Structure 1
């Protein structure tokens, strides 16, 4: 076929598209309804008032494209705006791209049915190539705009979550703006709730994409209650969860927290007590912070609850930890190191066995008199008598602190 004949064929295709734009668009709407659930489930009028017009516009843009007259910047901006609408209408990116594939397929079938294309298959294939190139360009522009809009919404949501978390954690009066945002999410912080805190063990290893995956994993593992939804967000090196506990058993929270700690082993996990009222979230956050700090020190893969570490947390906040250790366990540790003895171990077992000489001796595989002798040496070195309640309490506290903070 001559160049003149090819131009005549192309012009025939262009004219056909323009003359049958409504008919082809109706066919496209029918195909979208039959094959794409996201389109079929939209409100009445969506297909004819939006999709039909968009399909018709695409046909005229293709006509101009084939003629070489298309204003790509302006035309593609319409497609980008359409992609943003689809995102806001709740249509998935997969469904959107499926619609453009269908569009290209049906438009090509329409062109291929022309007698001119049947007469000259080679030229018809050339037109098909131009149609596919056009569809690819449009699909790329549409997908990029859709994903940019989705990313923007996600970032806005994360920002709103972070702002809500900061306000709740700060202990200040909760603003109407934050209350409104939480209400839209179905979150009621006035109900009983605890704070579950994940802190990176190695902050320098943070990766934004991995953190997003971690957030998703945490959300998927959390127990849910019909009464209220959890609030999950990022705060510096932490993932913060405000978890409603109404209708959720205490054991379920511990099980989930331990599961999170095991699955996301790059985080230490701390959990507060349950509190009622949004004004108590700041207190819950402090408790979770105390628990997660001790979890980081210990390094094992279990969640630490504030109720488990209450004694260590109180001592550490008091600033008396070193004083207590200096008057109880440190002299014993120094003696053990110098003489190869086991005074600290004996003290721990004696406390664990509820101050029973026989049971302590049996566990250490020594005589009860040897236990008695070691207790006397503990008194001499520390100045604390294990037979006196107050001194024994202080020795037990020093042993507990040393064990929890030395690993």
Structure 2
């Protein structure tokens, strides 16, 4: 049985232990070294039971790794406290490695720290049991010092593990972010039709094979922030997952729609938009994402540069068609509206307003007159002028289409919606 003077406390509050007591403490812990694997396996069993809600949903390989890691930690820890050589390396390196490994395995940090606390408690109880069963001849004072030593070591272990775990988590987050951005870049370039890459993209973005996706594109003005403010937060509230990136003057996102419609997304995005934004669903999943990106970007560009709005590209197909060919659009405007645009400003504006209202109200002079606050006969007279100037009759479907497209091209769509003039301001 060890004897000696009691421990002293330094001015800093640290317990000072005499060399004789230190030897007694090491001898006490040395009695547990032969039982290290048995103690470690008991700790593992208790861990898997205590936190079974987590471990039951993880691969069996993780439980095996926990068991092996616990054995290594207990073996080295007991040797360290017993003052024995450490042929495998320093205990502190093992703690760091454990913190990094558990972060990569996705084990929550609180479970990692809880496991170490449980391990220390089991070791302390095993030491007490040795003393009670007379396998350890040591007085209560040395036993208390041994307990103080192991619980003090826990604080050091926890600090090292927390630091290693958080550093590894940050590294993984950076790697994951770079990988997601790379995947989004390649999807926008059209790589989604490659089956091998598509499978990689689904894994990185956590997509199901049948998930409905869409692309949102916001046009970035030079030197300005994105016109969409934290769109992922608003979309999360309706359970729409999203991944965002910046590419070639566009802030774009891949949205996982679930059961939602495009209109649901539009309602969420409109209040948080301060610029030109468009959305297009992909008709063929990842394979069609590049097309959705291109159409959404072009649809956003059809909105007035000094305005704001969030639109569906599918609702702006005429604008998209016109924007594809400037030459064809110029000919269309000249042929359909050339004579009207040549009129004096006031007369030109009056005729264009009348034509727009007439087409908007399905060729009803009465309803057009109500919108224009004039008499029905006035609308009929003005439409006669328009027919004479354009040589086009809205009663003929083809002529009606040409007139409507021409109005869209000059920024005066019959439905009154926002549009950027394609040719003439």
Aligned: 1:268 with 2:285: no
Aligned residues of 1:375 and 1:386 also touching (Cα < 8 A): no
Distance change >3 Å, CA 123–CA 262, structure 1 → 2: farther
Aligned: 1:15 with 2:27: yes
Distance change >3 Å, CA 134–CA 277, structure 1 → 2: closer
Number of equivalent positions = 381
* Offset of residue 161 of structure 1: 2.4
Deviations 1:167-198 (A, max 9, x none): 5x168xx556425535766755xx89764233
Pairing partner for 1:286 from 291, 294, 302:
294
Aligned residues of 2:304 and 2:419 also touching (Cα < 8 A): no
Distance change >3 Å, CA 163–CA 8, structure 1 → 2: farther
TM-score w.r.t. structure 1 length? 0.69
Aligned: 1:139 with 2:147: no
Aligned residues of 1:201 and 1:268 also touching (Cα < 8 A): no
Aligned to 1:228: none
* Offset of residue 360 of structure 1: 1.4
Aligned: 1:239 with 2:258: no
Aligned: 1:395 with 2:403: yes
Aligned: 1:405 with 2:413: no
Gaps of 5+ in 2: 1-5, 9-15, 132-136, 413-417
- Where does 1:2-401 land on structure 2 (aligned, <5 Å)? 6-21=18-33, 22=36, 24-37=39-52, 38-39=54-55, 43=60, 46=64, 49-57=67-75, 59-60=77-78, 63=81, 74-104=90-120, 106=122, 119=141, 127=149, 130-148=152-170, 150-151=172-173, 154-155=176-177, 157-158=179-180, 161-162=183-184, 164-166=186-188, 169=190, 174-175=193-194, 177-181=196-200, 188=209, 195-199=214-218, 204-205=224-225, 217=236, 220-221=239-240, 234=245, 236=247, 237-241=250-254, 252-262=260-270, 265=273, 268-272=277-281, 274-275=283-284, 278=287, 281-294=289-302, 302-306=310-314, 308-320=315-327, 321=329, 324=332, 338=346, 342-375=350-383, 378=386, 383-385=389-391, 387=393, 389=396, 392-401=400-409
Aligned residues of 1:195 and 1:242 also touching (Cα < 8 A): yes
Aligned residues of 1:272 and 1:291 also touching (Cα < 8 A): no
* Offset of residue 89 of structure 1: 3.9
Deviations 1:7-37 (A, max 9, x none): 4434433333343252653453243123223
Q: Over the residues paired in the alignment, what is the CA RMSD in angstroms?
A: 5.0
Aligned to 1:227: none
Distance 1:396 1:70 in 2: 85
